[in-house]
Copies of this chain bind each other. A is one copy, B any other.
Amino acid sequence: MKILTKQVLDSWNIQIKSAQKLTDQLDDNQLELEIAPNKNTGKYLPGHLIAVSNGMLPLLGLGEKHYPELEIPFVRTPDKNGQDGPDIPTLRQNWKGINQKLSDQFMLLNTSDWLARHTTDTEGAFLKEPHRNKINVVMSRTSHLAYHPGQLAMLRK
């Protein structure tokens, strides 16, 4: 089991590194632009990714959200609805901050922790569906983490 949980975490780390690199390649002016006409701005996407990563901490039983102030502007409110959230330099710091925080916390979990249920699942439901474990949260968030950078890449010159 150890090798497979490691592979899932490696896959998460590859996507984090790639998304982070892409965000670093785009300057603040580029991130203010829409990724396509009438679609999200570049800024909204890292904001949304940070906010969703934040939510992994309580879901995995690893503490409270690191930047709870990002929940309203980047998860509960669509882009361009008057909830701008922090400025881009702050978001860049938050992006590195949440990735480091998750990386540190992930190191604390062993294989049997990863196979245990996540916090929103009940014991009864977990008995019936043992795949609803913590490592599954990382798998689904890894796909989410690939989906939005595909859009962010459209801002590259």
Contacts and interface: CB of A to CB of B under 8 A. Distances in A.
Number of copies: 2
Nearest to A132: B7
What's the dominant secondary structure at chain A's contact region? helix
Interface stretch (A61-69, A76-84, A119-127, A135-143): A135-143
A6 interface: yes
Given A130-B3, A131-B3, A151-B154, A139 B39 contact: no
Interface stretch (A9-17, A24-32, A87-95, A97-105): A9-17
24 contacts: A3-B115, A3-B130, A4-B4, A4-B5, A7-B131, A7-B139, A8-B8, A8-B139, A10-B131, A14-B143, A36-B36, A36-B37, A36-B154, A142-B142, A143-B143, A143-B145, A143-B146, A146-B147, A147-B147, A147-B149, A147-B150, A148-B150, A150-B151, A151-B151
